[in-house]
Amino acid sequence: MAIHQQGQKMDDMTRILPSNCSKVFVQRDFSDGTAVKFQTKFPPELEGKVENEHFVRTISTLNTMFSEAESLTSRNYCESCFACLTAYLSYLCFDTHYEKVLKKVGKYIAEQNQTVYVPRGLMLVDPVERGLRTLEICILNETNGR
C-alpha cells in the first residue's frame, strides 16, 4: 500500500477529504447520447496546477473504460442470459462485466491520484461515488472562503 508524503495511506485519502476544499466538477458529455462520457474541456480552475495533457489523457482513458463497460458483446449477452436462467442468483457468485470495469476505473483513479494529482495538490473522486453524474476534482491545498 502506497504511503503519501504526510504518512497517510493513499486508500485513506478518499476518506480524509477536507470538507472545505475547493472543488471542480467535470460534467458529463451528452453529445453522443446518454453513455457515460465526461467532457475533455480543461477547467480554468486547474490552470497552473496540472498540465492539460495529463488531464485530457486521464479523462480520455476514463471515457474509454466506460465505453468498454457499456459495450455489447457476446460475452455480456451470455452473462445476462445465464443470469435470467438462474433467477439472477448467479450475480451472487460473480461480478458482472460492468462491475469489473467499475473496479478497474477505481484502481485507475487511485493510481492517477497517487502519481499525478495528489503530488500537485489535487484529488480525483471516483465518479461512481457521485452516481456517474460528474467527475469531482478537489483542490486540496486551497480552501474556499465559506
pLDDT per position as a tens digit, 42-61: 999 999 999 999 999 999 99
pLDDT per position as a tens digit, 104-138: 999 999 999 999 999 999 999 999 999 999 999 99
The ranges assigned to domains in the chain are: 10-143
CA distance 52 to 5: 24
At 22, list the grid cell. 475547493
User: Where does residue 83 rank: exposed (0-12), middle (13-18), buried (19+ CB within 10 A)?
Assistant: middle
CA distance 22 to 140: 7
CA distance 10 to 110: 8
pLDDT per position as a tens digit, 20-50: 688 999 999 999 999 999 999 999 999 999 9
H helices of the chain, in order, are 10-13, 52-69, 74-85, 97-112
Q: Quick one: pLDDT band at residue 142, thresholds 50, 70, 90?
A: low
pLDDT of 2 above 90: no
Are 9 and 1 within 8 A, CB to CB? Answer: yes
CA distance 84 to 96: 13
CA distance 43 to 65: 21
- CA angle, corner 102, sides to 106 and 17, nearest 5? 35
3-state secondary structure of 55: helix
**Mean of the pLDDT values across residues 16-22?**
65
**Mean of the pLDDT values across residues 85-96?**
91
